[in-house]
Amino acid sequence: MTIPLPVRIQAAVVRGAFALPEGLRRAIAGKPLVRDGQTLALDAQLILRLQQLSKAALVLPGGVEPSRAAMEYARHLVGGATLRTVTARAVGIPREQGETAATLYTPDGLAEGSGLLVYLHGGGWVVGSRASHDHVARFLAQRAHVRVLSVEYRLAPEHVFPAAAEDALAAFDYAHAKAADLGADPERIAIGGDSAGGNLAAVATQEAVRRGGPVPVFQLLLYPAADASTRRRSRELFVDGFFLTSADMDWFVDQYAPAPADRTDPRLSPLLAEDLTGLPPAYIGTAGFDPLRDEGEAYAQALREAGVAVRLSRQPDLIHGYANYIGIGHRFREATAEAAEALRKALAPGAA
């Protein structure tokens, strides 16, 4: 894909800002920001300042289509150069009507029978795609030494709840049934995602356990949406000014689960499931300056209380969506690398 010249120019400006000496970066970003006993990382504060100057937002005037276009555009600015040491091929996942498109990522030199991560991109169930998260999938594949199957699940408002959740479970079932075709070990298949994708991964895991049969061996949940029925303290602390806003979340949920959808349904709010026993181990990454922080951490606590092995890792100085920014600044990459390492260990041969 050829990136248009205006995008390349803007990407160069962003890279240039992050290459400046620390003093100049601080001058652009402003005084250190402290909230709830946490200090925002300079990398995070700088990207927020650049977004403010460019009037970037997750939900744009005009709604769905402009917001989708903006997310596709943004990955060229903050995602970094494409990792050419990871190859990609298209895969079709059959479903009742038609098929779900997916991309299989394979690091160069990875042997057959590797672990595999079924990956569900973020974007509030409304925006985002395999393309917008191509850099994230490649990074996880390379760092964790696994194959990654990135899924183009159906988006709202064209396909409302629970369509995306159904696609997530179907993708895991496909990966397990066709593991040999994908070059993977059927006993080492994890599921994961970021934000809304983390929600879908958690939901699909619960559904797999409830019905019996194949279950993911690990969950990789990055700043997941876990409860659409209530607002926790972090929604008030970080209501605005940190890219994802509380109003954005309201809009996303309204698109995905319009009335009369039950927002206490565990297929939308996995934190509210009556029984969390028997779920596979999980890594849950949260961000300190994120409206969704507290519900992700509440989900980690609920899993622990149900006897599930959980590693909760709050990145106290970062914002929601930190995995999307791995092409700029070291803190975003460092935090995402930690998640990739947890995945690598979970899917290593003999890890179970």
Report the percentage of the chain scoring pLDDT > 90: 92
Average pLDDT over residues 249-262: 94
Residue 173 and residue 95: Cα distance in Å, rounded?
Answer: 11
Band (2; pLDDT cuts 50, 70, 90): low
- Is residue 235 scored above 80 in pLDDT? yes
Angle at 43 between CA 191 and CA 139, to 5 degrees: 30
Q: Last residue of a domain, which of 72, 97, 119?
A: 72
Q: Are residues 48 and 128 in the same domain?
A: no
Q: Angle, nearest 10°, between helix axes 134-144 and 330-347?
A: 50
- 8 A C-beta contact, residue 305 and residue 245: no
Distance spanning both ends of the chain, measured CA to CA: 40
Question: What domain range includes position 39?
Answer: 5-72
Q: Are residues 197 and 301 in the same domain?
A: yes
- Is residue 3 scored above 70 in pLDDT? no
pTM: 0.96
Q: Are residues 211 and 343 in the same domain?
A: yes
* 79 part of a folded domain: no
Q: Are residues 60 and 133 in the same domain?
A: no
The confidence score (pLDDT) of residue 157 equals 98
Given the residues 195, 234, 265, 317, select the one marked as catalytic.
195
**For the chain, how many structural domains are there in total?**
2
- Is residue 351 scored above 90 in pLDDT? no
320 belongs to the catalytic site: yes
Q: Are residues 125 and 175 in the same domain?
A: yes
Q: What is the pLDDT of residues 273-330, one digit of tens each?
A: 999 999 999 999 999 999 999 999 999 999 999 999 999 999 999 999 999 999 998 9
Q: Last residue of a domain, which of 45, 72, 99?
A: 72
Q: Are residues 292 and 270 in the same domain?
A: yes
Residue 57 and residue 61: Cα distance in Å, rounded?
Answer: 9
* 249 part of a folded domain: yes
Say which residues have a Cβ less than 8 Å from residue 67's Cβ, sequence separation at least 6.
58, 59, 60, 126, 127
Q: Are residues 90 and 65 in the same domain?
A: no
Angle at 141 between CA 135 and CA 144, to 5 degrees: 130
Residue 284 and residue 193: Cα distance in Å, rounded?
Answer: 10
Q: Are residues 67 and 94 in the same domain?
A: no
Q: Are residues 57 and 114 in the same domain?
A: no
Residue 19 and residue 326: Cα distance in Å, rounded?
Answer: 14
Kindly report the average pLDDT of the chain as a whole number. Answer: 96
The confidence score (pLDDT) of residue 5 equals 52
* 352 part of a folded domain: no
Q: Are residues 102 and 49 in the same domain?
A: no
194 belongs to the catalytic site: no
The confidence score (pLDDT) of residue 260 equals 83
The confidence score (pLDDT) of residue 261 equals 84
CATH code, domain carrying 192: 3.40.50.1820
Q: Are residues 134 and 51 in the same domain?
A: no
229 belongs to the catalytic site: no
Q: Are residues 115 and 16 in the same domain?
A: no
Given the residues 134, 185, 227, 290, select the one marked as catalytic.
290
Q: Last residue of a domain, which of 46, 72, 98?
A: 72
Q: What is the pLDDT of residues 122-154, one digit of tens each?
A: 999 999 999 999 999 999 999 999 999 999 999
* 100 part of a folded domain: yes
- Is residue 166 scored above 80 in pLDDT? yes
- Is residue 112 scored above 60 in pLDDT? yes
